[in-house]
Amino acid sequence: MSGFTVQNVSKIYDGDLPTTTLQNINLQVRDGEFLCILGPSGCGKSTLLELLAGLQAPTEGEILLDDVPVKGPTRQSGVVFQDASLYPWRNIAQNVGLGLEIGGMNKAERQELVHKYLNMVGLEGFGSKYPHHLSGGMRQRAGIARALVGSPKILLMDEPFGAVDHLTRLQLQQDLLRIWQEEQKTVVFVTHDVSEAVFLADRIVLLSPRPGRIHHIFEVREERPRKREDAGLLKIQNDIYSAIYDVKTEEDLEFTI
């Protein structure tokens, strides 16, 4: 297990009119927790995730992973984006095992690990299929398997279920929680869906509209497994909506109710 320390982080994009996307973010991501980052479109959620992944560098401040500064991508973090971005000319098993192949793992070991994680995400028997044979939800499962197969300590997920239908999304949430509990990894999950965040998270970080700042951190102490209709979860949802209205500006917050 592993965690991040985010210290006084800001991100400014240069240009004719410099844009401050994130401002003075201080956050501790605890070992083994499921942390959701919640906020309106344009508030810097995805930027913060990319900073954690080492895909971008902060303009100010520092991010530490196990007390070591993050200076670029690391094998300790696996990343899942909204689009699984599978290579259409490679079958699902080859897509999932690509990182292992590039890393020089021998074929037998690679196939064993790919088989394990395809089974874990519910894609047993689909390794020989190609991406166009699979539904959107199944392609996302393959993307999750690809992130997991390298045995990262941390799973970073950027609205991974945003492009699938509602029923598939609910099932993927359940499956992700099962995988998180089995693998005992730290998960940082970006979403703009309040109910999704409350169902999944141990803690929810609510960002304000741009420039993104931490407006509030909500603890979700309801026992697992959870039921979506639990009174405690509904109360937290209401508390989050109250906080959203507190920071509402002229911008459209675009939260999912």
- CB neighbour list of residue 151: distance below 8 Å, 6 or more residues apart: none
- Copy the structure tokens of residue 199: 């169902």
Instruction: Output b/e per residue, 137-174; b: 16+ Cβ within 10 A.
Output: bbbbbbbbbbbbbbebbbbbbbbbbbebeeebbbebbe
| 3 state SS of 249 | coil
Report mean pLDDT in 10-residue bins for the chain, 257 residues. Answer: 89 89 97 95 94 97 95 94 93 96 92 96 96 95 95 95 92 95 95 96 96 96 94 96 76 48
Q: What pLDDT is attached to residue 248?
A: 64
Distance (Å, whole) CA 117 – CA 144: 9
Distance (Å, whole) CA 119 – CA 141: 10
Q: What pLDDT is attached to residue 122?
A: 94
Contact, 71 vs 16, CB < 8 A?
no
Nearest to 35 by CA among 24, 21, 49: 49
Contact, 65 vs 74, CB < 8 A?
yes
Q: What pLDDT is attached to residue 1?
A: 54
The 10 Å Cβ neighbour count of residue 256 is 11
Distance (Å, whole) CA 232 – CA 89: 47
Quote the pTM value. Answer: 0.93
